[in-house]
A = this chain, B = another copy of it.
Amino acid sequence: MLGNLIGPEINELIAARNFSALREAFVDWSPADIAECITDLPAEEQAVLFRLLPHALAGDVFEYLDTDAQHAVLRAMGNVDAARILNDMSADDRTGLLEELPGAAVAQLLQLLSPEEKAIAQSLLNYPEDSVGRRMTPEFISVRSDWTIQQVLDHIRAHGKDSETLNVVYVTDERGRLIDDVRIREFLLRPLETRVDEIHDSSFVALHATDPEEDAVNLFKRYDRNTLPVVDSENKLLGIVTVDDMLDIQEEEATEDIQKLGGVAALEEPYMDAPLFDLVRKRAVWLVVLFLGQMLTATVMGVFEKELASALVLALFIPLIISSGGNSGSQASTLIIRAMSLGEIKLRDWWKVMKREIASGLLLGGLLAGIGFLRIVVWSSWSDSYGPHFVRIGLTVSVAILGVVLWGTLSGAMLPLLLRRMGLDPATSSAPFVATLVDVTGLIIYFSAAVLILRGTVL
């Protein structure tokens, strides 16, 4: 990549707190780079810098700070500076800041807004959390269908300054209802006297303000758009959302899914910023649930204590057998959960999935069973740790592995579908259920195989 790199001079200026020289240096920089560069300064000094930077640039840089830093800088600023920054922020970024703050701080900051901006901020905060309304900005260009391109371009030149994007222009009727979205290229490529209604085709895709964020991501992906309009239930155009916000939403969602699959309740903050207590609490919940479930294994083992006492050799393979079941189960549930969240698998596909997983489970289980049998037989040729009946013991272990892997694969694959069917989130609940189920039933399978195969010899 090109772009500005933080050279040693800048670090010297920062170290020397030479703010006026920094101001000169920063004027040619991109806002994202400036934000990164000042991120380690104390909030008070950041506030000084923001006061020195040209207004427009200061506003842009501020939007690239993370929410905590934004709040700290606002607190370090005088009311006049803070009001200017807040009023200049684009509405969606401002919502992103306000929704993270406690109620008292929000009330305080809202007081700094102009009546008009305050009304916008409040109406956006009224939409449900993680809804499209929270990510939208009401700054767009709308035109009428009887205008010419010349009129559209004149309108943009006069009123486009505050619009979040000029890449798409919205055609609305006299009551503000959305008729069409037209990309700016359609205006730029045609003669100036063309009328808008000669261009537009009344086919558009729009989001509702109350739609969940994930729907927005999916719609952007499906239609390859950079900007989508947001309407209310009467099709009135409320605002727009832009694709750059979707990258962040998609990343957050993937992180949540990954954390849930790893058996951690989703963290709300980056790992390093999360307070230790939160980190422990979010992990403790699932660890305790799993632990309580796993206690059943001790109970099951107790039931088979007599068999264990007469053939202690059986104990040696317990970790191997239950971990094979656990591993094959977590493979299957990971694959199915991810495929479900990408929409590749629907509930109605359950039978197809089941057939594939039975085949996979038999193949994988057969492979591991074979390896396990070989290990026991080969080992027994130079050691007598498995006794004279080592072939039968090898057979018992192999049958158990085949059964446990097949069962692990099958339950790992079907449980997410079952949980979804019951309206639960498969990512949250599958891993612990599968682990406990497979470990407990794995022991039962193992000891049942032992009773059948070893009766009359070791048992």
Residues of A within 8 A of B (CB): 1-4, 28-30, 32, 153, 156-157, 160-161, 163, 165-167, 183-185, 188-190, 201-208, 211, 215, 217, 219-226, 231, 235, 242-244, 246-248, 250-251, 254-255, 257-259, 261-264, 267, 270-272, 276, 279-280, 283-284, 286-288, 290-292, 294-295, 297-298, 301-302, 305, 308-309, 312, 315-320, 322-324, 326-328, 330-331, 333-336, 338-339, 342, 344-345, 349, 352, 356, 359-360, 363-364, 367-368, 371-372, 375, 385, 405, 435, 439, 443
Contact = CB atoms under 8 A, between A and B. Distances in A.
Contact of A297 (B320, B339, B443): B320
A339 to B, nearest CB: 4
A260 to B, nearest CB: 9
Nearest to A357: B279
A317 to B, nearest CB: 6
A334 B222 contact: no
27 contacts: A1-B205, A1-B206, A2-B204, A28-B201, A30-B205, A32-B223, A32-B224, A221-B247, A221-B248, A243-B247, A251-B342, A254-B254, A262-B330, A262-B334, A263-B331, A270-B339, A272-B339, A280-B363, A287-B367, A295-B320, A298-B316, A301-B318, A301-B319, A315-B315, A318-B318, A319-B443, A322-B323
Contacts of A279: 335, 356, 360
B283 A301 contact: no
A231 B1 CA distance: 9
Contact of A315 (B189, B308, B367): B308
Contacts of A264: 331, 334-335
B188 A156 contact: yes
Contact of A334 (B259, B305, B405): B259
A397 to B, nearest CB: 9
Contacts of A312: 305, 308-309, 312
Contacts of A360: 276, 279-280, 283
A325 B322 CA distance: 14
Given A156-B188, A283-B328, 17 more contacts: A32-B222, A153-B188, A156-B189, A157-B189, A166-B185, A166-B189, A224-B244, A250-B251, A259-B335, A276-B360, A284-B364, A288-B368, A291-B327, A301-B315, A305-B312, A323-B435, A326-B326
Contacts of A364: 280, 283-284, 287
Copies per complex? 2
A264 B4 CA distance: 40
A297 B286 CA distance: 25
A378 to B, nearest CB: 12
A392 to B, nearest CB: 17
Question: Counting chain B CB atoms within 10 Å of each CB, which of A167, A206, A267 scores highest?
Answer: A167
